[in-house]
Structure 1
Amino acid sequence: MTDPPAADTRAGAVPAALARRRRVLGLGVAVAACAGLLYLAGHDPHDPAIPMPLCPIRHLTGLDCPACGSLRAVYSLLHGHLGAAGRDNAFALVCAPPLTALLARQGRAVWQGRYAPVPAPVAYGLGAAALAWMAVRNLTG
């Protein structure tokens, strides 16, 4: 009689089948993100005639959420207009590098088949900064 295969005792390791599914899902998300960026590069969200998704928070409450203006900011960045991106959503522009680093970290972890939770101080810090930005942008008009 043979012994059952030894369980992987590495911290954060996931079963091979789950890791494979996560890789496929991760590749699908990456392809969808690239398709979205390609669409955005060719369609100016500053033009109200161009179909773009509505912000549910703004639609329901009339308030600007921390992400309102992000599509316009990304469009401006894709076309090399840093100043316009800052006017569209300064918060998204400032948060883009750390969020990109977190996304790359998570993507690498998924590809390697392991967990990579966002550290609690980073998550709470970003959440608090987003709430503060929402308050500032809605109180100042």
Structure 2
Amino acid sequence: MATTGPWASRVRRRLVLAGAGCCLLAGLGYLAGTDPHDPSSVMPRCPVRAVTGLDCPACGGLRLTYDLLHGMPAAAARDNLFLLVCSPLLVALVVRQARAFDRGHPAPLPRPLAYGLAGAALAWMAVRNLPGWPLSPTSV
């Protein structure tokens, strides 16, 4: 049985994708049962917030996902409106990358899209850290 060649390479890529999918499902399962709004829950903390005290563009992402898993879209919008609005695009980009990886071809992100997302994320970080911003995360 040959362990090299295009077939073996494709099998390895499929196994990597299956492993990533299993990790995603395990993480979502853990998140569905563990409330990140509770400060005593075991969740990763944001390194940007730990160092600077500012909410980064992704701060509130775990709370947003928890809220969506439990059917609370208003709370999800309060936790991170930017990620909520961008999530369809981000999911489409992840699916695009997974398909390209499965085929063994690169799928670079178009520069205008990359710069646009980076600029929007920086603008969101600046706006959400303004004093009196009404959409503050439901917990820290």
TM-score by length of 2: 0.84
**Map of 1:90-129 to 2, 5 A cutoff?**
90-129=81-120
After TM superposition, give the deviation of residue 28 of structure 1 in Å: 1.8
Aligned residues: 127
Match of 1:135 among 90, 109, 126: 126
After TM superposition, give the deviation of residue 92 of structure 1 in Å: 0.7
62-71 or 19-28, which moves further after superposition? 19-28
State the partner residue of 2:69: 78
* Structure-1 separation of matches of 2:36 and 2:100: 33
**Map of 1:49-68 to 2, 5 A cutoff?**
49-68=40-59
User: What is the percent sequence identity of the aligned residues?
Assistant: 60
After TM superposition, give the deviation of residue 111 of structure 1 in Å: 1.4
After TM superposition, give the deviation of residue 140 of structure 1 in Å: 3.4
SS at match of 1:139: coil
The answer to whether structure 1 residue 29 and structure 2 residue 20 are counterparts is yes
53-62 or 18-27, which moves further after superposition? 18-27
State the partner residue of 1:40: 31
What do residues 36-94 of structure 1 show as CA deviations (whole Å, max 9, x unaligned)?
00000011101112111000000111111000011000000001111010001001101
* Structure-2 separation of matches of 1:43 and 1:50: 7
TM-score by length of 1: 0.83
**Stretches of 4+ moved more than 4 A in 1?**
17-20
SS at match of 2:129: helix
Q: Quick check: 1:86–1:93 contact (8 Å CA) kept in 2?
A: yes
After TM superposition, give the deviation of residue 34 of structure 1 in Å: 1.0
In angstroms, what is the RMSD of aligned CA positions? 1.5
* Structure-2 separation of matches of 1:69 and 1:46: 9
* Structure 2 unaligned residues grouped into runs of 5+: 133-140
The structure that has the greater radius of gyration is 1
